[in-house]
Chain A
Amino acid sequence: MGIFVVGISYKTAPIEVRERLAFSEKHLSAFLDRTTDSPFLEEKVILSTCNRVEVYAQGREAEDGVSEIKGFLSSYHQFPLEYFEKYLYVYQHGEAIKHLFRVSSSLDSMVVGEPQILGQVKGAYFLAKEAGVTGLILNQLFEKAFSVAKRVRTETQLGEHAVSVSFAAVELAKKIFHKLEGKSVLLIGAGEMSELAARHLLTQGVKAVVVANRTYERAVALAESLGGKAADFSRLEEELIHADIVISSTGAPHYILTRQKAEGVIRARKNRPIFLIDIAVPRDIDPQINEIENIYLYNIDDLHVIVQNNLQEREREAQKAEDLIQRESWHFLGWLEAQNAVPTIKSLREKAERIRMQEMEKTLSRVSVSDKEREAINAMTAAIVNKLLHGPISYIREQAHARNGFNMETIRRLFDLDRS
Chain B
Amino acid sequence: MNVIFSNLTLFIYFIATLKHILFLIHRRPLLFKIAMGAVALGFLSHTVTLILMTVQAHRLPFANFSESLAFSSWVVVLAYLLAEWRYRISALGSFVMPVAFFGIFLALILPGEGTPLIPVMANFWFLIHLVFAFLGTAAFTLTFGVGVMYILQEGQLKSRRPGVFYHRLPSLEMLDDLSHKALSWGFPFLTLGLVAGFIWIRSAKGSFWDWDPHKTWPLLIAWAIYGILLLGRLNGWWRGRKAARGAVFGFVLVSLSYWLHTYS
Q: Which residue of A lies closest to B160 (CB)?
A: A302
Stretch at the interface among B192-200, B202-210, B213-221, B235-243: B235-243
Tell me whether A305 is interfacial, beta carbon within 8 Å: yes
Q: How far is the CB of B229 from chain A (nearest CB, A)?
A: 13
| B240 near A175: Cβ-Cβ < 8 Å | no
| A271 near B160: Cβ-Cβ < 8 Å | no
Stretch at the interface among B39-47, B66-74, B133-141, B164-172: B164-172
- List chain B residues, Cβ under 8 A from A77: none
| B171 near A175: Cβ-Cβ < 8 Å | yes
- List chain B residues, Cβ under 8 A from A154: 29
Tell me whether A313 is interfacial, beta carbon within 8 Å: yes
| B167 near A313: Cβ-Cβ < 8 Å | yes
Stretch at the interface among A4-12, A155-163, A353-361: A155-163
| A155 near B28: Cβ-Cβ < 8 Å | yes
Q: Which residue of A lies closest to B157 (CB)?
A: A296
| A176 near B157: Cβ-Cβ < 8 Å | yes
- List chain B residues, Cβ under 8 A from A174: 171
Contact with A along B139-161 (1 / 0, CB 8 A): 00000000000000100011011
Tell me whether A387 is interfacial, beta carbon within 8 Å: no
Q: How far is the CB of B218 from chain A (nearest CB, A)?
A: 27
Tell me whether B261 is interfacial, beta carbon within 8 Å: no
Tell me whether B173 is interfacial, beta carbon within 8 Å: yes
| A298 near B236: Cβ-Cβ < 8 Å | no
**CA of A56 to CA of B172 in the docked complex: distance in angstroms?**
47
Q: Which of A155, A175, A305 contacts B157 (CB 8 A)?
A: A175
Q: Which of A176, A271, A305 contacts B172 (CB 8 A)?
A: A176
Tell me whether B30 is interfacial, beta carbon within 8 Å: yes
Q: How far is the CB of B247 from chain A (nearest CB, A)?
A: 15
Tell me whether A107 is interfacial, beta carbon within 8 Å: no
Known: A155-B30, A177-B171, A272-B236. A293 touches B241 (CB 8 A): yes
| A293 near B171: Cβ-Cβ < 8 Å | no
Q: How far is the CB of B240 from chain A (nearest CB, A)?
A: 5
- List chain B residues, Cβ under 8 A from A305: 160-161
Known: A155-B29, A155-B30. A175 touches B166 (CB 8 A): yes
Tell me whether A270 is interfacial, beta carbon within 8 Å: yes
**CA of A339 to CA of B158 in the docked complex: distance in angstroms?**
58
Within 8 A of B (CB), among A232-289: 269-273
| B240 near A294: Cβ-Cβ < 8 Å | yes
If A155-B28, A174-B171, A272-B236 are given as contacts, then 19 extra A-B residue pairs at C-beta distance below 8 Å, sorted by A number, are A157-B27, A175-B153, A175-B171, A176-B157, A176-B171, A176-B173, A178-B170, A178-B177, A269-B236, A270-B235, A270-B237, A271-B236, A271-B238, A271-B240, A273-B239, A290-B158, A294-B241, A309-B161, A309-B162
Tell me whether B106 is interfacial, beta carbon within 8 Å: no
Shortest beta-carbon contacts, A-B, top 5: A270-B236, A178-B171, A271-B239, A178-B173, A178-B174
**CA of A80 to CA of B96 in the docked complex: distance in angstroms?**
67
| B242 near A293: Cβ-Cβ < 8 Å | yes
What is the size category of the interface that chain A forms with chain B? Answer: 20 to 34
Tell me whether A172 is interfacial, beta carbon within 8 Å: yes
Contact with B along A160-182 (1 / 0, CB 8 A): 11000000000010111111000
**CA of A298 to CA of B28 in the docked complex: distance in angstroms?**
31
- List chain B residues, Cβ under 8 A from A293: 238, 240-242
A interface, CB within 8 angstroms of B: 154-155, 157, 160-161, 172, 174-179, 269-273, 290, 293-294, 296-298, 302, 305-306, 309, 313
| A298 near B160: Cβ-Cβ < 8 Å | yes
- List chain A residues, Cβ under 8 A from B160: 290, 297-298, 302, 305
Contact with A along B77-117 (1 / 0, CB 8 A): 00000000000000000000000000000000000000000
Known: A155-B29, A309-B162. A273 touches B236 (CB 8 A): no
**CA of A269 to CA of B239 in the docked complex: distance in angstroms?**
11
**CA of A177 to CA of B239 in the docked complex: distance in angstroms?**
14
Q: How far is the CB of B241 from chain A (nearest CB, A)?
A: 6
Q: Which residue of A lies closest to B175 (CB)?
A: A178
Q: How far is the CB of B85 from chain A (nearest CB, A)?
A: 19
Contact with A along B224-254 (1 / 0, CB 8 A): 0000000000011111111000000000000
- List chain A residues, Cβ under 8 A from B27: 157
Q: How far is the CB of B33 from chain A (nearest CB, A)?
A: 11
- List chain B residues, Cβ under 8 A from A297: 160
Q: List 10 A-B contacts (CB under 8 A).
A: A154-B29, A172-B157, A176-B172, A176-B173, A177-B173, A179-B173, A271-B237, A271-B239, A273-B173, A302-B160
Known: A176-B173, A178-B173. A273 touches B240 (CB 8 A): yes
- List chain A residues, Cβ under 8 A from B170: 178
Q: Which residue of A lies closest to B166 (CB)?
A: A175
Q: How far is the CB of B123 from chain A (nearest CB, A)?
A: 44
- List chain A residues, Cβ under 8 A from B29: 154-155
**CA of A272 to CA of B235 in the docked complex: distance in angstroms?**
11
- List chain B residues, Cβ under 8 A from A176: 157, 171-173
